[in-house]
């Protein structure tokens, strides 16, 4: 399949059967993520393949959260999707140390040599390591989604898990990691609808008219 055809074929699926993706295909999908580009080759991505029991627990907790808060979000739909889809992978990165980040904001202390312990940390966090690592994870996720599309597997990029990331991390014993998102992999029970896209003229904001 040509790349241009592949990116046009990819759609977000919202309704799945419970058919499982084979272990062979899951490994191909993860292998595709491992070769994604990353800032300074840090390769910050980590993958957790959920069991059915874990999927159901997370879906239940998401529903409990929305029932307790009463907020209007898509979390109920995402919980149903996670429960029903064949496979779901959570994508993590290393835990962000917000104590370090807050200290690096005290730039004058750093520049005056009053916080030598944190001077090296400054060169990572102060210059937007978090943004760079999150972008790197995004690249890995897109590799996974496009590889799945090539294999005839439907996908959904899941961010609603972040509403209860602390609950999920405690449950999985991953409190030393930062949950970025999840991705559902499976087979559609209903054809997805292609959503509209903004026009290029609206999206390209840096082009100047030539005189």
Q: pLDDT tens-digit profile of 146-172?
A: 999 999 999 999 999 999 999 999 999
Q: Which tokens go with 185?
A: 């992999």
The percentage of residues in the chain with a pLDDT greater than 70, rounded to a whole number, is 82
Which stretch of DSSP H or E encloses residue 99? Answer: helix 98-104
CA distance 75 to 122: 36
Stretch 167-178: mean pLDDT: 95
CA distance 161 to 62: 7
Give the residue from 205, 50, 48, 44 showing the smallest Cα distance to 139: 44
Give the residue from 131, 139, 163 showing the smallest Cα distance to 64: 163
Name which of 19-28, 43-52, 72-81, 200-209 the model is least confident about: 200-209
Stretch 12-24: mean pLDDT: 95
**Do residues 136 and 38 lie in contact, with contact meaning Cβ atoms separated by under 8 Å?**
yes
**Global pTM value:** 0.84
**Beta-bridge mates of residue 116:** none
Domain 3-203 homologous superfamily, CATH: NADH Oxidase (3.40.109.10)
Band (11; pLDDT cuts 50, 70, 90): very high
Sign of the alpha-carbon dihedral angle for 159, 160, 163, 166: negative
> Given a cut of 90, is residue 123 above it in pLDDT?
no
Q: What is the pLDDT of residues 180-196, one digit of tens each?
A: 999 999 999 999 888 89
For tokens 């602390």, the residue is 166
Where do the structural domains in the chain lie, given as residue ranges? Answer: 3-203
CA distance 45 to 133: 8
């Amino acid at each position: 399949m040509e790349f241009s055809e592949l990116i046009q074929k990819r759609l977000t699926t919202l309704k799945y059967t419970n058919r499982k993706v084979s272990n062979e295909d899951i490994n191909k999908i993860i292998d595709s993520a491992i070769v994604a580009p990353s800032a300074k080759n840090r390769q910050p991505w980590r993958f957790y393949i959920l069991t059915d029991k874990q999927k159901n627990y997370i879906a239940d907790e998401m529903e409990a959260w929305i029932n307790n808060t009463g907020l209007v979000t898509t979390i109920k739909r995402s919980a149903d999707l996670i429960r029903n889809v064949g496979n779901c992978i959570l994508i993590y990165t290393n835990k962000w140390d917000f104590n370090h980040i807050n200290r690096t904001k005290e730039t004058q202390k750093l520049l005056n040599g009053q916080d030598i312990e944190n001077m090296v940390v400054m060169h990572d966090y102060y210059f937007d390591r978090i943004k760079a690592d999150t972008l790197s994870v995004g690249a890995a996720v897109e590799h996974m989604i496009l590889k799945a599309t090539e294999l005839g597997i439907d996908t959904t990029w899941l961010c609603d898990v972040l509403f209860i990331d602390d609950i999920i991390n405690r449950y999985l014993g991953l409190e030393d990691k930062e949950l970025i998102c999840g991705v559902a992999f499976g087979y559609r029970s209903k054809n997805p609808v292609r959503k509209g896209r903004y026009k290029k003229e609206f999206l390209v904001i840096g082009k100047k008219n030539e005189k």
